[in-house]
Amino acid sequence: MRRVVVTGLGMVTPLGSGVDVTWRRLLAGESGASRVEAFEVSDLPCQIACSIPRGAGEGEFDADAWMEPKEQRKVDPFIVYAMAAAKQALDDADWHPSSYEDQIVSGVLIGSGIGGIGGIHDASLLLEERGPRRISPFFIPGRLINLASGYVSIEHGLKGPNHAVVTACSTGAHAIGDAARMIALGDADVMVAGGSESPINRLSLAGFAACRALCTAFNDDPTRGSRPYDRDRDGFVMGEGAGVVVLEEYDHARARGARIYAEVIGYGMSGDAYHITAPSEDGDGAFRCMQAALKRAGIVAADLDYVNAHGTSTMADEIELRAVERLVGNAAANISMSSTKSAIGHLLGAAGAVEAIFSILAIRDQVAPPTLNLDNPSVDTPIDLVPHKARQREINVVLSNSFGFGGTNASLAFRRVDA
């Protein structure tokens, strides 16, 4: 199979618009959480979220800069975030296919967990109050999950595979893994891949709260709400945003002198076959998923330097931790593993893509981002969970985990590429 490397990065997160601002604030230990002000939350059990900072200032997200206002009006925000992250990634990779030959080997695979749920909510009310004649012709195309890929494809002339992934909180990781496979198998030479999510609305907060998945004990102290592995954690804090990478066949990247961030060396998938929202308690699904990624990569667990955990700040954190301990055995003491959801919250379908980018940046800068709010670990572990402060260390091989509702698991492995 052909080798696949990462040549471009883009993201919009609760820490800002862009990779640089997000990474800088993440390493500084800043949190993107705050009380939700955009709509009424007084009757919701969870009243906090990690929202994208909006505005035209440095590092802030200005939607008009990425998509014309008249187009924004037609779509849910997850499509606007995807457009922003994709443009950033393509600019970063300096890949702007203009010839037909370049366009047909360039594809897009951006997923989302719950897509246009906010717009579906609004249109449902309109249908009930005003009748079917008031439903816009843009209602369906502006809510469909694969329209993130559709819009990006049209904007950048990407005429290769045009695909989307929907696997709840594993979406972003599956999108990058599947896209890498398309390149490896020769379906494309370049893929724009990732995930996007815009879930901060009353309906989503009510729904996830009903699943008993959300943090409810920190409504008055939002930045302390997301606290993976800490004994006082009580659910995840929802986040919004998008992460997109440009993946490229190795020789294609070398031939045009592209900067190579890392190589996608492994991709593992598994199913729990256990419960619709809870992970299997023995962590078997997570274990097999990571093991499959290592096998594909042709490496052993002792080769791992850093793991970006799924770590949602729920009871499932310990299940993943035990699965990682089982995977790495005696090498546990040499591994750092953190949950960046402690800073940006849980971006659902975008989480796996944003966290894959953090893992790649960990290789570039030889630093493990911190797990915030880890004051009192709920269990002992020989693994370094990088509490509170980023850790400078040697990082050559990383693993990024994502696990989703439906018992769907994905792990991505990346390795430094020597120039």
Which range, of 133-141, 246-254, 386-394, 395-403, touches another protein by CB under 8 A?
Answer: 133-141
Contacting another protein (CB under 8 A), which of 68, 101, 128, 129? 68
Residue 69 contacts another protein per CB under 8 A: yes
Q: Which residues are catalytic?
A: 169
Cβ within 8 Å of residue 256, ≥6 positions away: none
Region 70-89 residues binding another protein, contact defined as CB under 8 A: 70
Provide the token pair at 205: 């907060």
Minimum distance between the CB of residue 36 and another protein, rounded to whole angstroms? 30
Minimum distance between the CB of residue 107 and another protein, rounded to whole angstroms? 24
Which range, of 93-101, 130-138, 231-239, 246-254, touches another protein by CB under 8 A?
Answer: 130-138
Residue 141 contacts another protein per CB under 8 A: yes
Minimum distance between the CB of residue 133 and another protein, rounded to whole angstroms? 7
Minimum distance between the CB of residue 137 and another protein, rounded to whole angstroms? 4
Q: How far apart are the first and last CA of the chain?
A: 21
Provide the token pair at 357: 């980018």
Residue 45 contacts another protein per CB under 8 A: no
Minimum distance between the CB of residue 123 and another protein, rounded to whole angstroms? 13
Contacting another protein (CB under 8 A), which of 43, 128, 133, 257? 133
Provide the token pair at 410: 């994905």
Q: x/- binding map, residues 206-245, to another protein, per CB under 8 A?
A: ----------------------------------------
Residue 137 contacts another protein per CB under 8 A: yes
Among 340, 356, 203, 189, CA closest to 267: 356
Which range, of 137-145, 238-246, 356-364, 391-399, touches another protein by CB under 8 A?
Answer: 137-145
Minimum distance between the CB of residue 68 and another protein, rounded to whole angstroms? 6
Number of residues that bind another protein (CB under 8 A): 9
Sign, Cα dihedral of 316, 85, 77, 34: positive
Which range, of 26-34, 55-63, 131-139, 338-346, touches another protein by CB under 8 A?
Answer: 131-139
Residue 62 or residue 64: which is nearer to another protein going by CB?
64
The site for another protein (CB under 8 A) is made up of 68-70, 133-134, 136-138, 141
